[in-house]
Structure 1
Amino acid sequence: MRLAVLGGGGFRVPLVYGALLRDRAKPRVEEVVLYDVSAERLEAIGHVLRQLAAGHDDPPAVRTTTDLDAALRDAEFVFSAIRVGGLAGRTADERVALELGLLGQETTGPGGIAYGLRTIPVAVHVAERVAALAPGAWVINFTNPAGMITEAMRRVLGDRVIGICDSPIGLIRRAAAALGLDPARVSADYVGLNHLGWLRGLVHQGRDVLPGLLADDTALLKVEEARIFGPEWVRTVGALPNEYLYYYYFTREAVAAISGPTRGESLLGQQDAFYAAVRARPDEALAEWLRARKQRDATYMAEARDATDAGERDAADLEAGGYEGIALALMAAIARGEPATMILNVRNGSAVPGLPEDAVVEIPCTVGCAGVRPLATRPLPGRFLGLVQQVKAVEQTAIEAALTGSSRLAVEAFALHPLVDSVSVARRLLDGYRARIPELAAVFPS
């Protein structure tokens, strides 16, 4: 099988290739085509992958290209992890909001809207080229904001585009481990949108064990999310929230905690140093990548952990892996008919009552050679449903704004978001992002 990786010069591509190296079942991915707009980044990641493959029998062949059509032609799977505007765009996503006293974060709040507004036209173009050159391919989308981008790409590709995220499976893994259970032997009642969901139940041998976890402080504090939110609040909401809900439940604390460099600014420095080191010492590319990855993982959502004294991330949790395992499991389920139940970003239909049928939601699904089937969920209580409905309205407004180039709709998307407190501020957000991000200004020139 041929896998095209869009954003192939990205820092996390070696995680995907490492998962492919460990996969020995047939059929398997035999060729990986890396596409990126930066030939320099492709070269650096190519060095890392060659060193990762050393000592492995029959590793997947790797080809690199800066030609999108060449990457997509005849692909059976497409993994999309592009970053329109690069990390410089991400730093602007964060800083423009922070300078207006709002949350500055990559996918949540104003920054996520700005990221989506400039990414949607590119993602839809990618979808159109997939439809033309590889109409039988499955697109696995990890491009953020994942739910919004997946929903936009669905307009072209329908059910053949599936969004993934590693936050839900990480939460479920941690909850199961806190109870001494094998995560593979539990089923999760998880529902929401990408980066906005709740674990409401955890069934083991026919019994929901989540209430017992919520009642046990010792076990509960083994779960990173519970340390971030605090046991009292977790019990108040009656569920374990996705880590990104910290930005909604503790907005003031989140904004106040970003006192130094933002996450984007830190990553920009880390990654610039990594790519420069590989250019200077290509024979040490893998060692440089491993060092930079350790630093990156350890500082993930550091502002939330620092503000709540949640402590450092658990080493075992870091080693368990994330989205690369989800991508591989999804490909295996489809290509080899290995049935699985996974939490994915898919069309709602009637699975989540109270949301539009065409909305992309993040829920458990069964996956097999016939594709993906979302599983019905219990109705959301009002305290969850209202927030989900509001954020989904923002996402759908942002999609229309990006596809039509409407500045009016872009302002509406900002103003509707629960983390933006004024229509006037929404207008200033759009002006600020246009001034600092050329890719967004190109979508909304006036």
Structure 2
Amino acid sequence: MKLTILGGGGFRVPLVYGALLTDRGEGRVTDVVLHDLDDGRLRAVARVLAEQAAAVPDAPRVTATTDLDEALRGADFVFSAIRVGGLEGRADDERVALAEGVLGQETVGAGGIAYGLRTVPVAVDIARRAARLAPDAWVINFTNPAGLVTEAMSRHLGDRVIGICDSPVGLGRRIARVLGADPKQAWIDYVGLNHLGWVRGLRIAGRDELPRLLADPDLLGSFEEGKLFGVDWLQSLGAIPNEYLHYYYFNRETVRAYQQAEKTRGAFLADQQARFYEEMRDPGAAALAAWDRTRAEREATYMAENRESAGAGERDADDLSGGYEKVALALMRAIARDERTTLILNVRNQGALSVLDADAVIEVPCLVDSGGAHPVAVAPLPEHATGLVCAVKGVEREVLAAAGSGSRARAVKAFALHPLVDSVNVARRLVEGYTDVHPGLAYLK
């Protein structure tokens, strides 16, 4: 089975390959094709993968190419893990937004809109090519903003594109762990959009254990989200929000923390990864050791500004192990082998969440089998969450309209309607600022 990874020179690709190395079952991935526009990054990542595979008999064969059509042709699965504009672009997204006093995070608020505007045209081109060159392939989208990009690709691939994210999985795992339950045995009632969802229940043997957690301040304050949001606020909500909702519920504090930080997250990662790829220019460097060291630092500093503003302290060791690669492997196995499972995924709504139309991509539990991912119908959200989901989905639709038409006015509208952008004039300045620094937004007229 052939797996193509777009963005194959990306830093997190070894996580995916490491997961593949653990799969010894029939019908497993035997060939991995890495595609990237940067040949130097491809060579660096290929070295890490070679060291990972050194002690594994019959490891998946790895090839690399800068030719997109060659990479797609004949693929069974395609992972889309691109970053249009690179980490330098992410740093620019943050800088322009923070200068206007609004959030620049890569998936939330102004930064997410800017990232989406320059990513959607590229993702749509990939979707069209995949439909032509690998019509039977399943496209698994890692690219942020994951829900928005998945929806853009679904207009050309239908339900054969599925978005994944490790945030809901990690949240469910933490809740189950605190309750003393096995996460694999838990049904997680999670619903929303990517990076905008809530756990409303966690059922073990048919019994919802979330009320027990919400009623116990010590338990509730003992894990990441309890520390980040505070016990009182979680009890008021009656649910456990995805960590990214901290940007909404504590926006002023987060923006201030980002403005006061020595470097933004994007600038930090750009510098950090530049050092890694520079180190890989030395043919004698230990590639896997350098990658492991860099990844540990990356994970330990994840959402550091949010935790600092909330006084949440350091991340727990159990939360430093990633997870999206495990979701991807479980998804592939379920489809390729009909190993039926339940995963929280980004898929077209198809009536699962009644407040949104059938084509809106949402993030909900899905039953997965050889026919793909089938969203499970979920109960309506409370009004406060419904309003936020509908507002942000409306913004995503404006981003898609702007990217499809090249309309600068639609881009301004997308920024202005976002709950974290507080002025139409700010929205206009954001569009000006982003088009000044991003050549990829020259299409907006």
Question: In the alignment, which residue of structure 2 is the partner of 1:402?
Answer: 403
1:403 is displaced (CA, Å) by 1.1
Question: In the alignment, which residue of structure 1 is the partner of 2:385?
Answer: 384
1:282 is displaced (CA, Å) by 4.6
Following the alignment from structure 2 to structure 1, what is the Cα–Cα distance between the partners of residues 438 and 284? 32
Question: In the alignment, which residue of structure 1 is the partner of 2:242?
Answer: 242
Equivalent of residue 274 in structure 1, options 248, 263, 276:
276
Following the alignment from structure 1 to structure 2, what is the Cα–Cα distance between the partners of residues 99 and 179? 42
Question: In the alignment, which residue of structure 1 is the partner of 2:177?
Answer: 177
Letter aligned with residue 307 of structure 2:
R
1:295-350 deviation per Cα after TM superposition (whole angstroms, max 9, x unaligned): 0000000011111111111112223x310000000000000110000000001121
1:351 is displaced (CA, Å) by 0.6
* 1:32-111 equivalent positions in 2, closer than 5 A: 32-111=32-111
Following the alignment from structure 2 to structure 1, what is the Cα–Cα distance between the partners of residues 15 and 420? 33
Question: In the alignment, which residue of structure 2 is the partner of 1:318?
Answer: 320
Q: Tell whether 2:245 aligns with 1:263.
A: no
Following the alignment from structure 1 to structure 2, what is the Cα–Cα distance between the partners of residues 179 and 381? 25
Question: In the alignment, which residue of structure 1 is the partner of 2:161?
Answer: 161
Letter aligned with residue 269 of structure 1:
D
Letter aligned with residue 303 of structure 2:
M
Question: In the alignment, which residue of structure 2 is the partner of 1:284?
Answer: 286
Question: In the alignment, which residue of structure 1 is the partner of 2:335?
Answer: 334
Letter aligned with residue 404 of structure 2:
L
Verify the 8 A CA contact 2:177 2:183 in the aligned structure 1.
yes
Question: In the alignment, which residue of structure 1 is the partner of 2:116?
Answer: 116
1:21-62 deviation per Cα after TM superposition (whole angstroms, max 9, x unaligned): 011111100000000000000000011000010110100000
CA RMSD between the two structures: 0.8
Letter aligned with residue 353 of structure 1:
S
Following the alignment from structure 2 to structure 1, what is the Cα–Cα distance between the partners of residues 380 and 354? 6
Segments ≥4 residues shifted beyond 3 Å: none
Question: For structure 2, which runs of at least 5 residues remain unmatched after alignment?
Answer: none
Q: Secondary structure at the match of 2:280?
A: helix
1:390 is displaced (CA, Å) by 0.2
* 1:177-216 equivalent positions in 2, closer than 5 A: 177-216=177-216
1:379-414 deviation per Cα after TM superposition (whole angstroms, max 9, x unaligned): 111010000000000001100100111101000000
Question: In the alignment, which residue of structure 2 is the partner of 1:296?
Answer: 298
Q: Are the structure 2 counterparts of residues 263 and 353 from structure 1 closer, same or farther at C-alpha, using a change threshold of 3 Å? A: same
Q: Secondary structure at the match of 2:320?
A: helix
Q: Secondary structure at the match of 2:169?
A: helix
TM-score calculated relative to the size of structure 1: 0.98
Verify the 8 A CA contact 2:279 2:285 in the aligned structure 1.
no
Letter aligned with residue 209 of structure 1:
E
Letter aligned with residue 217 of structure 2:
D
Following the alignment from structure 2 to structure 1, what is the Cα–Cα distance between the partners of residues 290 and 392? 39
Following the alignment from structure 1 to structure 2, what is the Cα–Cα distance between the partners of residues 19 and 302? 27
1:94-136 deviation per Cα after TM superposition (whole angstroms, max 9, x unaligned): 1100000111211100000000001001000000110111000
**214-223 or 303-312: bigger deviation:** 214-223
Question: For structure 1, which runs of at least 5 residues remain unmatched after alignment?
Answer: none
1:48-86 deviation per Cα after TM superposition (whole angstroms, max 9, x unaligned): 000010110100000000000000000000000000011
Question: In the alignment, which residue of structure 2 is the partner of 1:10?
Answer: 10
Following the alignment from structure 2 to structure 1, what is the Cα–Cα distance between the partners of residues 399 and 219? 40
Verify the 8 A CA contact 2:395 2:414 in the aligned structure 1.
yes
Q: Tell whether 2:205 aligns with 1:219.
A: no
Following the alignment from structure 1 to structure 2, what is the Cα–Cα distance between the partners of residues 213 and 165? 24
1:281 is displaced (CA, Å) by 4.5
Q: Secondary structure at the match of 1:345?
A: strand
Question: Identity of aligned pairs, percent?
Answer: 61
1:221 is displaced (CA, Å) by 1.9
TM-score calculated relative to the size of structure 2: 0.99
**6-15 or 432-441: bigger deviation:** 432-441
Verify the 8 A CA contact 1:353 1:380 in the aligned structure 2.
no
Question: In the alignment, which residue of structure 1 is the partner of 2:413?
Answer: 412
Letter aligned with residue 211 of structure 1:
P
Verify the 8 A CA contact 2:103 2:420 in the aligned structure 1.
yes
Verify the 8 A CA contact 2:89 2:438 in the aligned structure 1.
yes
Q: Secondary structure at the match of 2:378?
A: coil
Letter aligned with residue 422 of structure 2:
D
Q: Secondary structure at the match of 1:57?
A: coil
Q: Secondary structure at the match of 2:365?
A: strand
Q: Are the structure 2 counterparts of residues 132 and 177 from structure 1 closer, same or farther at C-alpha, using a change threshold of 3 Å? A: same
Following the alignment from structure 2 to structure 1, what is the Cα–Cα distance between the partners of residues 49 and 236? 46
Q: Secondary structure at the match of 2:111?
A: helix
Q: Secondary structure at the match of 1:118?
A: helix
Following the alignment from structure 1 to structure 2, what is the Cα–Cα distance between the partners of residues 370 and 92? 41
Letter aligned with residue 386 of structure 2:
L
Verify the 8 A CA contact 1:10 1:41 in the aligned structure 2.
yes
Verify the 8 A CA contact 1:116 1:149 in the aligned structure 2.
yes
Q: Secondary structure at the match of 2:143?
A: coil
Q: Secondary structure at the match of 1:106?
A: coil
